[in-house]
Structure 1
Amino acid sequence: MAGWQVFTATLAMLTIMAVTVVSLHQPHRDPDRLSVDRIRERISNEHTASADPVLSTSAWSHGAPDHQLDVQEAHRTMQQHRRCVVGECDRKGAAFRALVDAGRIKPTRMPPALQ
């Protein structure tokens, strides 16, 4: 083979390899995946919805609530107090009891502080 044939064959092979590598690394769009803008919008909507002045002042306290918690408020309280221990945080304990009474939680055993 002549030098120009080896050069042309090598160049063609490198071109094919480059096209293959580039095509493998193209990001594929997942239609179910949320875009950054949609995630930001959802977070903004959640912050706006949770800006209830009655909830924002007392929801983060660890004291017992002054009213019976409904299921939605109990779920929110369990999320807000996820690092608290049920037996040590009166608000989380009330939320736990409300969810047990509503049948949303079925504990294998009740925490001693709630028995």
Structure 2
Amino acid sequence: MAAWQVFTATLATLTIMAIAIVSLHHPHQDPDRLSVDRIRERISNERSALPVKAGTDTAKTLSATSAWSHLAPDHPLDVSEAHRAMQQHRRCPVAECARKAAAFRALVEAGRIKPTRMPPAMQ
């Protein structure tokens, strides 16, 4: 191999290594990406925005009516509440989660879901 070929190959290798190192030191940040603090703040705001019934113990009401709870809701869900419950409990099986079962039932009754077969818990 000629000296100029060795020199060119070495220069090319060093250039590629320099580009790789520079790209590692200056990671590109996605401006639309939420930070952990913003996500925590959003979750906190959503939980504090839950309705509290007058004349009842606040902590008991929040834990019993929490949309994140798997307990059955204390009132029939309307379509928007049912959609939200289905989204929040998307990983829950209908047979095991009373809130998702109530939401599923409300959406079926409203004609928003047309199941080919009803889950065993709903029959």
- TM-score (normalizing by structure 1): 0.59
Output the CA distance in 1 between the equivalents of 2:91 and 2:101. 13
Structure-to-structure mapping, 1:1-115, within 5 angstroms? 6=3, 10-23=6-19, 26=23, 29=28, 34-37=32-35, 40-51=37-48, 52=50, 54=52, 56-57=62-63, 58-59=65-66, 60-62=69-71, 64-82=72-90, 84-115=92-123
Which one has the largest radius of gyration? 1
Equivalences, count: 107
Tell me how far 1:24 sits from its aligned partner.
6.0
After superposition, the Cα gap between the structure-2 partners of 1:89 and 1:12, relative to the gap in structure 1 and judged at 3 Å, is closer
Cα distance between partner residues in 1 of 2:111 and 2:43: 26
Post-superposition shift, 1:80? Answer: 4.5
Q: CA RMSD in A?
A: 3.6
Bigger relative contact order, structure 1 or 2 (CA pairs below 8 A, ≥6 apart): 1
Structure 1 residue ranges without an equivalent (≥5): none
What runs of 5+ residues in structure 2 fail to find an aligned partner? 53-60
Secondary structure of the residue that 1:10 maps to in structure 2? Answer: helix
Q: Helix, strand or coil: the match of 1:50?
A: helix
Is the 2:70–2:98 contact (alpha carbons within 8 Å) kept by the matching residues of 1? no
TM-score, structure 2 as length reference = 0.57
Percent of pairs identical after alignment?
Answer: 42
What amino acid is the match of 2:107? L
- Preserved CA contact (<8 Å) 2:70 2:99: yes
Deviation by residue 1:43-91 (Cα, 9 ceiling, x = unmatched): 42233123225474223152x3221112332233334444544244433
